[in-house]
């Protein structure tokens, strides 16, 4: 298996290198293949072959839909962005101050214009991703203000840590896109942080990237840097999605100024948006999971309808981040049974509306221990069960999103690889050679299957090969140091980062990016009054 996988992974690297016409990346790839830190699965876009888990009957879907439409018609959503209010007014919606009420016929007419699938092409076209259909794609943790590792404990984020996490994002083939900053580098002033991090991101990765919608200057800067990194003309940039933004509503029932502004800027230039309400049941949303989902749907559709009015057919994803709080403390909880069901219900609603779905990996645990894994595993598998198309925060998240952890990143990649392997049709193939009556006859009741031709022909690809799990017996494991998973993961991420070589990037493009960053810094960057 590993041999084939390395070849496939190399192909992606080689394509990038050939296209860019620079040897460094290719040589780097060759070295990595030879001495590779781990044997990982190849880059590919996994197809979710399972029928989704659907806890709602048809009447349940219609009840949530009707509830969401009543929220939009009777209660309305606050839009603080003046341009949005003008647009809603022009569309015939009822605007009272910042409150916007919209009829269900108009909302559904707009939502139907959104595509159910679309493609984003980053600077390396071999890393193109299609969001929708049966694809399930995974991205790195985004936006924690803090960092944790087993040597240093919890620390505020820095540019160095952010770069290390970007290297992991690039290294792992099972990570398909680079979400927001994997940790907030608070050692960079907020006015220029987006310039330095996007520079690092576009140099250290060749995967799809994201812009925070935190004011027009940041959004415009990131679009320009993505255009430069791709070596694209303005027209080429706008022809097809090259990047995306993800916004949250300010639940309950509010969209703020910069988030909507950023989305409008992106869609007008043909880029993609994800709208993800953060509806914690019992806090910013009803304590009932169906109620929290209803509110989330209303908040998301209000923005998506606006974007379809402005640019019919623009690529939009509906996001879910419905979870519950701990009713004793008010602390947010993640990966709970309620979270899983809310994700599944939202999946049913996304299919009802014909929109691609975003969900998340998440956990409230403070360290990468057992709790971290049962919560993250519940979250990631509920993404599978819900038919989710892109999974945000899929690797590296701790403490409810307040901590990014590189060891947790590697542990999560083991889970994600298992999910991807789970979808390999070979596992459930039932052709005559799979049923293997002849091999069973050959071995009979006295032998074993290790040495049979049927086994020998298949053993190298038959089973998932872990990158971190230790399957040795206790004694062998103990003799080798008796390290627990989090310790092994710590050693592994450090080796990956130490061995890392960035993907190919033309020297001329690298210079353009550096020049752009320098110029914008000299102009003062972006305002910090957001």
What part of residues 244-283 is at the interface with a copy of itself (CB under 8 A)? 252-254, 281-283
Give, in order, the Cα–Cα distances in Å from 314 to each of 114, 281, 485, 496.
6, 30, 43, 38
Q: Which residues contact 351 (CB under 8 A, 6 or more apart)?
A: 52, 387
Total residues contacting a copy of itself (rule CB under 8 A)?
127
CA dihedral 368, 371, 376, 378 (to 10 degrees): 160
Give the CA diameter of the chain. 82
CA dihedral 132, 87, 219, 252 (to 10 degrees): -70
Cβ distance to a copy of itself smaller for residue 271 or 485 = 485
Query: Considering the complex, what minimum distance in angstroms separates the CB of residue 271 from a copy of itself?
Result: 28
| Segment interacting with a copy of itself, rule: CB under 8 A, options 12-20, 53-61, 123-131, 233-241 | 53-61
What part of residues 410-439 is at the interface with a copy of itself (CB under 8 A)? 411, 414-415, 418-419, 421-422, 424, 427-437, 439
Burial (CB count <10 Å: 0-12, 13-18, 19+), residue 515: exposed
Among 19, 128, 154, 311, binds a copy of itself (CB under 8 A): 154
Which pairs from 484-490 meet CB under 8 Å and 24+ separation? 485/368, 485/411, 486/150, 486/367, 486/368, 486/369, 486/407, 486/408, 486/411, 487/150, 489/368, 489/407, 489/408, 489/410, 489/411, 490/149, 490/150, 490/151, 490/406, 490/407
Query: Considering the complex, what minimum distance in angstroms separates the CB of residue 314 from a copy of itself?
Result: 26
What part of residues 350-379 is at the interface with a copy of itself (CB under 8 A)? 364-375, 377-378
User: What six digits make up the tokens of 126?
Assistant: 């071999």
What part of residues 389-408 is at the interface with a copy of itself (CB under 8 A)? 399-400, 402-403
Cβ distance to a copy of itself smaller for residue 329 or 522 = 329
Report if residue 184 touches a copy of itself, rule: CB under 8 A. no
What part of residues 207-236 is at the interface with a copy of itself (CB under 8 A)? none
Cα distance between residue 128 and residue 16, in whole Å: 12
Cβ distance to a copy of itself smaller for residue 364 or 496 = 364
Cβ distance to a copy of itself smaller for residue 59 or 151 = 59
Report if residue 325 touches a copy of itself, rule: CB under 8 A. yes
Cβ distance to a copy of itself smaller for residue 137 or 166 = 137
Report if residue 294 touches a copy of itself, rule: CB under 8 A. yes
Among 271, 324, 362, 405, binds a copy of itself (CB under 8 A): 324
Query: Considering the complex, what minimum distance in angstroms separates the CB of residue 363 from a copy of itself?
Result: 9
| Segment interacting with a copy of itself, rule: CB under 8 A, options 105-113, 121-129, 476-484, 491-499 | 476-484
CA dihedral 65, 251, 399, 363 (to 10 degrees): 0
Q: Which residues pair with 84 in a beta bridge?
A: none
Report if residue 143 touches a copy of itself, rule: CB under 8 A. no
Cβ distance to a copy of itself smaller for residue 213 or 385 = 385
User: What six digits make up the tokens of 138?
Assistant: 């995974």
Cβ distance to a copy of itself smaller for residue 70 or 495 = 70
Give the other-Cβ count within 10 Å of 75's Cβ: 13
What part of residues 56-85 is at the interface with a copy of itself (CB under 8 A)? 56, 59-60, 63-64, 66-67, 70-71, 74-75, 77-78
Give the other-Cβ count within 10 Å of 120's Cβ: 24
Cβ distance to a copy of itself smaller for residue 21 or 432 = 432
Cα distance between residue 245 and residue 219, in whole Å: 9
Report if residue 530 touches a copy of itself, rule: CB under 8 A. no
Q: What is the DSSP letter of 72?
A: I
Cβ distance to a copy of itself smaller for residue 86 or 326 = 326
Rg of the Cα trace of the chain? Answer: 24
Among 49, 233, 239, 528, binds a copy of itself (CB under 8 A): 49
Q: How many residues does the chain have?
A: 530
């Amino acid at each position: 298996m590993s041999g084939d996988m390395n070849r496939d992974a190399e192909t992606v690297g080689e394509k990038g290198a050939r296209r860019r016409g620079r040897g460094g990346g290719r040589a780097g790839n060759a070295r990595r293949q030879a001495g590779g830190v781990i044997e990982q699965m190849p880059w590919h876009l996994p197809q979710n072959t399972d029928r989704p888990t659907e806890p709602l009957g048809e009447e349940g879907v219609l009840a949530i839909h009707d509830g969401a439409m009543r929220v939009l018609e009777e209660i309305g959503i606050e839009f603080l962005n003046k341009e949005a209010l003008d647009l809603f007014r022009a569309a015939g919606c009822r605007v009272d101050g910042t409150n916007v009420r919209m009829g269900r016929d108009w909302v559904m007419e707009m939502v139907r214009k959104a595509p159910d699938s679309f493609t984003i092409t980053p600077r390396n076209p071999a890393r193109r991703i299609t969001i929708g259909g049966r694809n399930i794609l995974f991205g790195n943790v985004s936006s924690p203000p803090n960092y944790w590792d087993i040597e240093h404990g919890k620390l505020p984020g820095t540019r160095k840590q952010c770069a290390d996490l970007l290297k992991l994002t690039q290294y792992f083939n099972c990570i398909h896109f680079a979400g927001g900053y994997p940790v907030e580098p608070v050692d960079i002033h907020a006015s220029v942080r987006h310039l330095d991090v996007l520079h690092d991101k576009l140099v250290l990765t060749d995967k799809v990237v994201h812009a925070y919608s935190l004011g027009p200057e940041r959004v415009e800067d990131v679009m320009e840097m993505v255009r430069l990194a791709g070596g694209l003309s303005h027209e080429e940039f706008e022809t097809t999605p090259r990047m995306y933004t993800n916004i949250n509503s300010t639940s309950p029932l509010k969209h703020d100024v910069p988030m909507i502004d950023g989305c409008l800027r992106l869609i007008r230039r043909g880029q993609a948006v994800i709208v993800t309400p953060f509806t914690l049941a019992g806090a910013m949303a009803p304590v009932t999971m169906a109620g929290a989902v209803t509110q989330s749907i209303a908040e998301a559709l209000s923005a998506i309808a606006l974007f379809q009015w402005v640019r019919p057919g623009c690529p939009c994803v509906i996001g879910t981040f419905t979870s519950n709080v701990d009713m004793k403390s008010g602390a947010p909880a993640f990966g709970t049974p309620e979270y899983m069901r809310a994700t599944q219900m939202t999946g049913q609603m996304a299919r009802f509306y014909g929109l691609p779905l975003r969900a998340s990996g998440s956990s409230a645990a403070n360290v990468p221990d057992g709790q971290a894994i049962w919560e993250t595993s519940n979250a990631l598998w509920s993404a599978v069960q819900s038919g989710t198309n892109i999974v945000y925060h899929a690797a590296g998240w701790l403490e409810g999103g307040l901590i990014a952890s590189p060891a947790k990143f590697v542990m999560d990649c083991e889970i994600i690889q298992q999910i991807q392997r789970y979808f390999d049709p070979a596992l459930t193939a039932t052709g005559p050679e799979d049923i293997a009556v002849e091999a069973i006859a050959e071995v009979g009741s006295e032998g074993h299957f290790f040495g049979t031709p049927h086994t020998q022909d298949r053993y190298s690809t038959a089973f998932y090969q872990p990158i971190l799990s230790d399957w040795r017996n206790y004694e062998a494991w103990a003799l080798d140091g008796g390290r627990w998973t989090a310790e092994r993961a710590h050693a592994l991420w450090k080796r990956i980062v130490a061995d890392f070589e960035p993907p190919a990037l033309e020297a001329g493009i690298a210079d353009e990016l550096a020049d752009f960053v320098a110029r914008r810094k000299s102009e003062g960057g972006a305002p910090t009054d957001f």
